[in-house]
Amino acid sequence: MIRFLRPFDPHRIRLLVFDLDGTLIDSRLDLIHSVNAMLQHIGRPALDGDVIASYVGDGAPALVRRAIGDTDDEALFRAAMEYFLGYYRIHKLDHTTVYAGIAETLANLVAVVVYATDMPALMATADIFAKRFGDAPPSSTWLGTTALAHPDQLVEITATAVDVNGY
| 26: Cβ contacts below 8 Å, ≥ 6 apart | 96, 97, 98, 99
Q: How many CB atoms neighbour CB 45 within 10 A?
A: 7
Q: Return the SS3 of 115.
A: strand
Say if residues 114 and 142 touch (Cβ distance below 8 Å): yes
- DSSP code per residue over 18-52: EE-TTTSEE-HHHHHHHHHHHHHHTT-----HHHH
From 9, 19, 26, 30, active-site residue: 19
Whether 94 is a known active-site residue: answer: no
Catalytic residues: 19
